[in-house]
Structure 1
């Protein structure tokens, strides 16, 4: 059995351990047992914790509707201040709506994916985030309530520490008290930090993954300043890196309404509140700080594809009859394999290029008195520097291996990196999908043109 399958039962066990045996313990400790109102309060919070955690675990993180009743692809995004889908997921074979990411655990694109939580065995997404927030809120509330009860008993024990031991609690009670206090304190601290962080993300309308993307963009801006505002892409392409504002921060109130799925404040704290409909996750309102043509995440040279070489230096790129002996299905499979291999061809990562360039500059300064000798050995030295950089940094020094300030990569949030780095842009979508979009746009334009104009009043 995988250890990940034990995570959810372990959390249920922790809730039971801190919730019910602790009540029995507090009934046997001085200065007084829990009152009736305290017991009611405690058990109500426990019920809320169980309900919200169960919803966080078992509510579907979201599956995008693929087709309408008439068989046409469902349109995602409709303009009017909302970003449209501009990417295509190769594994789902469908358009990827804004803010969606392909989860390697759920095996599909998840709407407004925050991360795949190992402690719930589920994605924290557009549909599960409200339940996740309520679970954190009620859990922190319940543990703070338990901490206050424990503190009162611990303070009483400390104040009467000089009395004979037979007047105090038994060894079983003391051991139980110590274990409950330690477990509750550690869990309370961890979940309090998580709650505060998610409240901040809710207020500014960012997910954990988007926070990673924002930090990545800032890193690219710092790198670009070192090279005059440009970074090198595949085959020597120079890409201009400009500061781009996060588009989905539309104001605190709207952000919270969108994140919690409703503007009803009472519903935010209701453990029985419903799940936001998946249809509302097909497009998101933007703040229009940037031009409508910009996309999020911002352009990144590490995401660009290499172009095919103009010459036929490599035999495998030439026109050959290598598939002549294959069947039709085998030929299609071989073509698909070569197509996927082409999609994932990558450029030399930025860190390797930068370190090689710094090494060349350092060597140039040290050997400037012997310039001719430097010119003769430059090719060999460059190859050595590149190999040493690759050996030191490995093949994961570009965006694939980039880590934020907390040392996290996208795969640490459950994202399928192979899909996320190489997802295709709108221009690379299948021709059938592009034609379907063109027909839909033409039909919409024709319907608008044929609509009767409103009467003019004089």
Structure 2
């Protein structure tokens, strides 16, 4: 049984413990209770914190619109495809993906400008919820800094009077309460401060957490390609040229802040009751123009492509072999569907295993003349991240690639099977295109 449903109540309990039980404790600790102005300021910060957290939990993270009455609504929602502009297709939603959207495994839909699925809000941090989430972090950090001041004054007073008889000071329960408050406040403030700084940086450069992973992945591919003359091997031995591609959505600090917070009004950035950005504003984004509009983000990745040649068709002698001759019709149909499901994405060996095999062949051909040592030194940089060893099971394949912090796409709540092997809309298999046409004809009004 999952304990995820306890995450949000636990956060509310931690806020209550740090904020309200501390105010009660301060009534009994020297040198003095909180002054009226201190109480007002502290509780105003707490109200802002609670409102921001509640909105980050309950505000809808949004969804990419699909169809309405059998007709495309992409034009009215800003999703209309421009000539020469690539667009990706989500196999689970059976719909076009908006730029910067990702399929969330928990929300079971494509979320506009998805940053990550937060386990502590049980909600996606997305285009609509990001302003509330960063306000929650801001007010949490400011409130705990203010609380740290109160705790420090009382802890310092106790230390200064440590030689006095114990009956003149707080009892054991008050001491334990003060100690727990100090420890919980310190560690929570440390973690949330790092998270706040990281999110402000992402806001300034207009990247999401997932896009940061994609940027590091692209840099790794560029390093790999440089080692192999600018090319990497794609499915069925196709050589794909890999070139450095600039991140397209960084349009300047001021515009980045306006876009991320949903407004250019600085006062609204700190208003916990500020309006939630509309979903339609998260379906298309301004780009910096450094790259051609025909290029998509994330950049081309040979390991995200599927093989074009069906399994079992590599040789002419196998092309027309009837494998189900001994099965009855129902068993043959079940076997066909099993092969069909297994063939949705035709994965290949991990890059590391392919390179190791190539280096081994090269070492054999060169009779181990010592040149391999230099390549071994470069191996970690070529592979990138922390995935430079043989992987098995769930960790195998390039969908198991990890960045320098050891994170995979699934660690951000993304459905890896859908996201890593999403497809260009123009390259959809014929069967999917025919199924879409049939669905549109059925759904079309008579």
Give TM-score, length-normalised by structure 1: 0.83
Question: Aligned residue for 1:274?
Answer: 275
Question: Aligned residue for 1:445?
Answer: none
- Gaps of at least 5 residues in structure 1 are 369-388, 437-458
Question: In the alignment, is the contact (CA less than 8 A) between 2:352 and 2:390 conserved in 1?
Answer: no
Does residue 325 in structure 1 map to residue 329 in structure 2?
A: yes
Alignment deviations for residues 4-35 of structure 1 (CA, whole Å, 9 cap, x no partner)? 11111111110111110000111221111100
Q: CA RMSD in A?
A: 2.8
Alignment deviations for residues 131-152 of structure 1 (CA, whole Å, 9 cap, x no partner)? 1001001101111110011011
Relative to structure 1, the CA distance from residue 406 to residue 62 in structure 2 (aligned partners, 3 Å threshold; closer, same or farther) is: same
Alignment deviations for residues 49-89 of structure 1 (CA, whole Å, 9 cap, x no partner)? 11111111111110222234673342443578x99661111
Q: Residues of 1 paired with 2:361 and 2:176: CA distance? A: 64
- Gaps of at least 5 residues in structure 2 are 370-386, 439-446
Question: In the alignment, is the contact (CA less than 8 A) between 1:83 and 1:286 conserved in 2?
Answer: no
Q: Residues of 2 paired with 1:186 and 1:367: CA distance? A: 53
Question: In the alignment, is the contact (CA less than 8 A) between 1:77 and 1:84 conserved in 2?
Answer: no
Q: Residues of 2 paired with 1:282 and 1:83: CA distance? A: 18
Question: In the alignment, is the contact (CA less than 8 A) between 2:86 and 2:295 conserved in 1?
Answer: no
Question: In the alignment, is the contact (CA less than 8 A) between 1:205 and 1:259 conserved in 2?
Answer: yes
Does residue 431 in structure 1 map to residue 433 in structure 2?
A: yes
Shift in Å, 1:324: 9.0
Q: Residues of 1 paired with 2:151 and 2:169: CA distance? A: 15
Question: Aligned residue for 1:371?
Answer: none
Relative to structure 1, the CA distance from residue 19 to residue 226 in structure 2 (aligned partners, 3 Å threshold; closer, same or farther) is: same
Relative to structure 1, the CA distance from residue 84 to residue 10 in structure 2 (aligned partners, 3 Å threshold; closer, same or farther) is: farther
Alignment deviations for residues 111-140 of structure 1 (CA, whole Å, 9 cap, x no partner)? 111111111111111111011001001101
What count of residue pairs does the alignment treat as equivalent? Answer: 412
Question: Aligned residue for 1:376?
Answer: none
Question: Aligned residue for 2:67?
Answer: 67
Does residue 200 in structure 1 map to residue 201 in structure 2?
A: yes
Question: Aligned residue for 1:449?
Answer: none
Alignment deviations for residues 365-395 of structure 1 (CA, whole Å, 9 cap, x no partner)? 4467xxxxxxxxxxxxxxxxxxxx9994225
Larger radius of gyration: 1
Q: How does 1:284-299 map to 2 (within 5 A)?
A: 284-299=285-300
Shift in Å, 1:282: 1.3
Alignment deviations for residues 222-265 of structure 1 (CA, whole Å, 9 cap, x no partner)? 11111111111112111111000000001111111111111111
Question: Aligned residue for 2:315?
Answer: 311
Question: In the alignment, is the contact (CA less than 8 A) between 2:353 and 2:390 conserved in 1?
Answer: no
Give TM-score, length-normalised by structure 2: 0.85
Alignment deviations for residues 277-300 of structure 1 (CA, whole Å, 9 cap, x no partner)? 111111111111001111100111
